[in-house]
Structures are given as structure tokens and as C-alpha cells.
Amino acid sequence: MSVRKRKWTTAKGVEREAWIVDYVDGKGARRLKTFAKKKEADAFEATATVEIREGTHVADSDSTTVKKAGDLWIKACDGLERSTRNQYRQHLDLHIVPFIGAEKLSKLNIPTVRSFEDQLRRGNSDLPAEDPRRAPRSPAMIRKILGSLGSLLADAQERGLTVRNVVRDMRGKRRKGKERKAERRQKGKIKVGVDLPTREEVKAIVGAVEGRWRPLLLTAIFTGLRASELRGLRWSDVDFDKRAIRVHQRADRFNEIGQPKSEAGERTVPAPPIVINTLREWKLVCPKRPTGKLDDNGELIMQLELVFPNGLGKVESLANIINRGLMPAQVAAGVVVDTGEKDADGKPIMKARYTGMHCLRHFFASWCINRVADGGLGLPPKVVQERLGHSSIMMTMDVYGHLFPRGDDAEELAAAERALLA
């Protein structure tokens, strides 16, 4: 391997010079790589020498583009959930390819990825409305896109298409704790009455909700199950004797049944009497699923399977749960906000205060943490983490840490002491 200067004259008579690295790669093929500065050529020589010795070197001509590597990566994701595959495909087609799809993997470096990150954050208002590079991306979306790019490069590494995963190199040099604090500061803390209902609002909802939505919403409020876990819950996972609910599966956004979000998502959650008693009554009228088989009398055999199915005994859609269950229950309970509009009679039009099922999961977490107000002791962070099915205690504390009683909170400590000594 050698580094030498090359001089030449262009067709217009202009003298040019560059530095050439002349080497033989691991396959025995002769390669030439040109640099404007000697120090760049020397740096490449040093790196390439080590890579060739270790058998990891990939020449530019053998490398592929980000787009082609992305297509291979997507094909390798066939075993993942449909919603995950769709999200990866959107990251690739709408965010990665428009900016760096034509770049060779071998030419990606940390400055290139940082520039890509800046472009995502900045956008370009001068581009046409239909151009995917026009709109700026949110910090949360940028983080997800970079995560997908890192997975793409990891797949390319395994295929021998690139030596480095520059996304992971870049993240390794960043102070993750500082980034996490900045993200929390931007998002802000979840607030009672804004992100989750107050105790009074929950009492009003419990008193107002009726029909097939009552058992579902009560279970959501007092067990903290995710909406996907509620939709995939089976009667075989409800233990009436032990007053507990086991989470072993979930229904994704496409109504497909699969494993919980993580290993920690598979858990057992105690259910209070109001939930158990309501589920006992609901089981008597719960819609059954047709099995496709006939009994001895030629009648279609129906089977009781899902706890909260649609009218045909199949997975209920999240849209129905929210639009036909959660929203009307809030309106009936008076848990509403003014839209600023008026109806034909001049009366203000009100709408439900909370728009997603996750608000009830937030309430459950708050209820577990601050049960001293109910005459009991609040649960410690580790127990709250287990009941929510979080994969780490850090996740629980990032979201709910500010809700735990502080050591300087005299009123909370006094209430806890009274409950303990009672």
C-alpha cells in the first residue's frame, strides 16, 4: 500500500494535483482512492491497512447505496410485527432516502449523519409542498429515524456492505444522560387534569359509563393495561378466584394478535373487586366468536374467547373504543372542555377532555403511587414498573418520578405514617 502525489493537466490546460492511495484489498483486487489532502490519504491508508488485515475492508466500488441497503434491511424485517415493518418502511421512504438515499455506505461518516440530522430538523420551506424534504421533523421523530438508520447500517455490516455503523459511533460519543434530560425538559412533566384525569373526573366517568364499554373502561382505569393489551385480553387470562389479570398477548393496530411489547409486558396485575365483579356480569353477555364448526344438531359452535371483542366476537378496533366508549363516557360524566363553537341554539359545544386511552393508564400509575389519599400506602417505584409492564425502572421514573412523595413533603409523610400505624 502506498501514498503518492499525482499531477495532471486538464483539457483546458489547468494543472491539478491530488493524493492517491494505491493498494490491494482483501480480495486481491488493486484499488486506487483519491484525496485532496495528504493527511486524508494517510488517514485512509492507516485505517484501510487495519481493515484489510482484519478482513472487514469494503472498497467504494463494492459498497452500495443507502437506498439499496435499506431495501435489503426491510426484507430482513419480515418476522417483525406488521406495524413495526410499516414504520420502518415509512422512515426509509419518507425520511432517509429523500436526503441520503444515493449516498454510498462507505462514504457515510459522523459529519454526514450530523448534517442529515440537521436537515431533518430544519426542513426546507423553499421546496414544493409535495417534496418530503420540505417539512421539519420533530425531535422525537428525528430520534426514531436515526434509530432506523442505525438498524439499517447494522444489517449492512452483517452483510459485509460497510465497515462502520456511524450512527452508533455518533451516539456512543454523546452524553445520553444530557440528551434524556433535554428531551424530558422539552416534553414537560405529565400533569393531572391535562394528561390524566383527576380522581373526581374518574369517579364521574365510573358513575356515568354504561353498557358494553363499562367493563372495558373500568379494567383500563384500575389495572393500567395498554389499549392493545385490553383488546387482546382472553377470558382464560382472567383469574376470578385470585382477582388477577394475566397479560400474555396483545392486538396491534391491524387487529393482529401477537406477543406483548416486551418481555416485561408479560405480567400479572391484581384487579380490585369493582373490576372482578363487573367482569363476572359481563362474561354472561359477552359476544362469542364463531369457530367455523358445527355441533351434532348442525348449529354453528360459538366460543367465548376475547374479554372485550366487537359484536362478532373478534378484536375490537381502537377507534371504536375511543369514539364510542371513552369519548361519550366523558361527555356523559361532564368531563369536557369548551370547543369555542356554538350549536344552532347558541349553546356552547363541548367535547371530551381526554382524547386517548393512555390517559387512563397514566391515572392508574398515579393512583398506585399516591394511594395514601385512600388510606393506604403508595406503591414503590419497582412495583409500579412491574404493574405497568415497563422494561426498566428508568422508564417509569422518567414519566412518573415527579408523582412519588418527596422526603420533604410533610403532609404525604404524615398520611403514610398514620396509615402505617393504624
Q: Residue 181's pLDDT is what?
A: 56
Distance of CA 421 to the CA centre of its chain: 43
Element (H, E) at 75: helix 66-75
Q: Residue 180's pLDDT is what?
A: 56
Q: How many other C-beta atoms lie within 10 A of the C-beta of residue 117?
A: 19
Instruction: Decide the pairing of beta strands 289-294 and 300-303.
Output: antiparallel
CA–CA gap between residue 407 and residue 308 (Å, rounded): 42
Q: Residue 190's pLDDT is what?
A: 85
All residue ranges of the chain with pLDDT < 50 are 175, 372-374, 408, 412-413, 416-417, 419-422
Sign of CA dihedral 326, 331, 332, 335: positive
Q: Residue 413's pLDDT is what?
A: 47
Q: Residue 373's pLDDT is what?
A: 45
CA–CA gap between residue 91 and residue 70 (Å, rounded): 10
Q: Residue 341's pLDDT is what?
A: 92
Enter the pTM of the model.
0.69
Q: Residue 20's pLDDT is what?
A: 83
> What crossing angle do the helices spanning 213-223 and 358-369 adopt, rounded to 10°?
40
Q: Residue 123's pLDDT is what?
A: 92
Q: What sections of 162-306 are H helices per DSSP?
A: 166-173, 176-187, 199-208, 213-223, 227-232, 273-283
Domains recognised in the chain with CATH numbers: 2-54 (no CATH), 66-187 (1.10.150), 199-370 (1.10.443.10)
Which residues on adjacent β-strands are paired with residue 234?
306
Give, in degrees to the nearest 5, the angle at Cα 323 between 319 and 324.
110
Q: Residue 47's pLDDT is what?
A: 78
Q: Residue 411's pLDDT is what?
A: 55
Beta strand spans in 208-357 (E): 238-239, 244-247, 250-251, 257-258, 267-270, 289-294, 300-303, 336-342, 348-352
Residue 263 is classified by DSSP as G
